[in-house]
Amino acid sequence: MAARLPKRARKALETTSRFGYGARGLVYLSVGAIALLAALDLTPRAAGTGGAIEAWAQWPLGLVLITGVAGCLIAFSVWRFLQAVFDADNHGADAKGLAVRVGQAVSGIAYGALAFSTLELLDGFEDIGEADESDSAKTFAAEVLALPHGDWIMIAVGLALIGVGIGNLIQGAVQDFSKRLDCSEALCRWAVPLARVGYIGRGLATLPAGVFLMRAGIEARSSEARSWGDALQTLEAQPYGSLILGAIAAGLIAFGLFGVFEAFFRRIEAPKTLAPT
């Protein structure tokens, strides 16, 4: 018999999930802000999620913020798994619903990994910044390429990341974001366009990193791999690259703002029983 969750536990789960959405929003706000500064040549380079969190360490009480966000990201990762396993969003068990739930599970893994990498920064300020995102991406690619059929695995990873980017573009274009929001019609009219711009911006930001990982597999060279931030920086070096990077940065900031909005107004229904569906 499935264990039934008490009302208090469901309320606690909803609250922690909201903190998770807010933490995700803050991370993408930082990524977008750094990318915008890079597009305006006010900072040396764009950064990915890890690099953006490292930048917080330079702020007063930066480690306190990092600690709180790490905890919230863990909560968000747990919520993603509950969405996937217990179908908390009622996507169903048809092909489309299962595809969405698999995406939620992958998202849970990604944000869980980001949370634990964030916790590694808490050894002290002197350790912050020692790890370089570029080196991490190349190290990852080198380890994958050293595996049997590593080139094909790397190509598959790159294609998967490209798929995530395309999925975000499609979501931004066609998804009805208002059905997941519990807010007034006036607020929804403001939030839905923000979500569309945000998802399209995140999709465009993800595609270059996927392309570089795929190239690393095709050419069997780890040096071709790029971190998220480096891929955006490479994009900026192209004709009109600053304008493109600025537009993507605006999209990432919109995604971050929508994440903060979701923290307050997303309709969250914690599962009543711990029975996978």
Q: What is the average pLDDT score of the chain? A: 83
Note the maximum CA span of the chain.
62
**For residues 58, 63, 64 and 66, what is the CA-based torsion angle, rounded to 10 degrees?**
90
Q: Find the length of the chain.
A: 277
Strand, coil or helix: 132? coil
Task: With beta carbons less than 8 A apart as the criterion, state whether 177 and 244 touch.
Answer: no
Predicted structure pTM score? 0.86
- pLDDT digits over 245-276, tens only? 999 999 999 999 999 999 999 988 766 666 66
Confidence of residue 58 (pLDDT cuts 50, 70, 90): confident
Checking if the pLDDT of 126 tops 50, the result is no
CA-CA distance, 235 to 138, in Å (whole number)?
18
How far the first Cα of the chain sits from its last, in Å, is 14
- pLDDT value for 103: 84
- pLDDT value for 97: 80
Confidence of residue 125 (pLDDT cuts 50, 70, 90): very low
Mean pLDDT over residues 95-105, rounded? Answer: 83
Range name among 44-48, 117-121, 144-148 with the lowest pLDDT average: 117-121
CA-CA distance, 240 to 245, in Å (whole number)?
9
DSSP code at position 223: G
Q: What is the 3-state secondary structure (H, E, C) of 61-127?
A: CHHHHHHHHHHHHHHHHHHHHHHHHHCCCCCCCCHHHHHHHHHHHHHHHHHHHHHHHHHHHHHCHHH
- pLDDT digits over 165-197, tens only? 999 999 999 998 988 898 888 888 889 999 999
